[in-house]
Amino acid sequence: MAIAITMEQIPKVVPVIKVIRVENATSRKHPRPDENGEPFSTENKQRYPHRTQQRHNARSRRRGASNNKSNQKDRGENKRKPLDSSIDAPSCSVCRQVDHPKYKCPKCRATYCSILCCRRHKDGLCEATKATIIETPNSKTLATTGVTSKYLTNDNVPMPLLSATASSASQRRKDEDDLDEGWKIDSTMTHAMQSSLWLRQELQDSGLRALITRIVNSSNTLDRDLHTAQERALQQAKDDHPMFQRFIDKLLVLSGVLERQREDSETTLETWLQQNNDGQHPLVLKALPRRIRHETTSSEKSSTVDDSSDGTTSESSDTSDGDESVA
């Protein structure tokens, strides 16, 4: 039913309309009424806690569903691509026959399958060892530099020289500790080699340095025949180059391992080293000096014998004096 309002009644009706709008706005803030028609107030929340929990669970389920949809969308965009079938599986870098090898080189990370392949890899296939090759003026061919070598011909001198510091100082100390007492290099040998003019002149030869570097950079591990690659390389250099054999003999004489014959002992050692001896007089192994410990023990024994003899004489003199006093 329509209500007619005159212009005079409008100022009186406006405040009433405002009150009704405020009441409607405040009523919307309250939750829906419960079964009894009462608004869901704080008292009803405490009276019916399961209803609030149900509403909370429903709200969290709706949020979780929306989050799952967004996550599925992201996973779909970032989905992994299938592996390329053209990529081959890793195989042994030495024999190329075994797939998925178990071992890797600690230097270049190359794979190998067995101990035999490991040795072959270390002998000449390791990229890290090849990276240590350095270019020096002496590593060029003798034909291009114009320098002649009496140990190697121009064709045998290699282009690169491997760094002689391939084996660390700790490894060299470990090797020296494993040697017996008579096989270690003492300070006397080191001083004799450092002060030799002949050795300095010989080491200027690039061919000799190439031979020494090749031997030093060989493997020092024992094989099945209980020999190392260094020993085989040293013996091969002696057999192939007679001048290198003479150099080794002179070096052993200089360090005191070998000694000259009597007919050569008249000349000084430095003069004899400068001479071109073609092995006319064979060298002999020098006898090792006696240890100081044995000498001290012998001197101690002699001193104890002297003390015992002095004691017996003093005792005899004391007994004789006692006899005379009794008499």
Residue-wise pLDDT tens digits, 113-149: 888 888 888 877 777 665 544 443 344 444 444 456 7
Selection from 79, 81, 107 nearest residue 93 by Cα: 107
Q: What's phi and psi for 112, nearest 5 deg?
A: -150, 160
Q: What pLDDT score was predicted for residue 223?
A: 80
The pLDDT mean for the chain works out to 67
Mean pLDDT over residues 300-318, rounded? 51
Selection from 267, 270, 249 nearest residue 196 by Cα: 270
Q: What pLDDT score was predicted for residue 139?
A: 41
**Whether the model pTM is above 0.85:** no
Q: What pLDDT score was predicted for residue 217?
A: 87
* 20's tokens: 């009704």
- 71-83 pLDDT, tens digit per residue, is 665 555 555 555 5
Confidence grade of residue 29 (pLDDT, cut at 50, 70, 90): very low
Alpha-carbon distance of 39 to 295, in angstroms, equals 116
Confidence grade of residue 51 (pLDDT, cut at 50, 70, 90): low
Q: Residue 154 burial by CB count (10 A; 0-12/13-18/19+): exposed, middle or buried? A: middle
Alpha-carbon distance of 273 to 266, in angstroms, equals 13
Confidence grade of residue 272 (pLDDT, cut at 50, 70, 90): confident
Maximum mean pLDDT: which of 106-110, 125-129, 197-201: 197-201
Q: What pLDDT score was predicted for residue 44?
A: 59
Q: Are 132 and 161 in contact (CB under 8 A)?
A: no
* 53's tokens: 């929990």
Confidence grade of residue 270 (pLDDT, cut at 50, 70, 90): confident
Q: Are 90 and 101 in contact (CB under 8 A)?
A: yes
Q: What pLDDT score was predicted for residue 279?
A: 57
Mean pLDDT over residues 3-22, rounded? 59
Q: What's phi and psi for 128, nearest 5 deg?
A: -65, -35
pLDDT at 163 exceeding the cut of 50: no
Q: What pLDDT score was predicted for residue 167?
A: 47
* 106's tokens: 């600690």
pLDDT at 289 exceeding the cut of 70: no
Mean pLDDT over residues 32-59, rounded? 61
Least confident window among 51-60, 89-98, 110-119: 51-60
pLDDT at 109 exceeding the cut of 70: yes
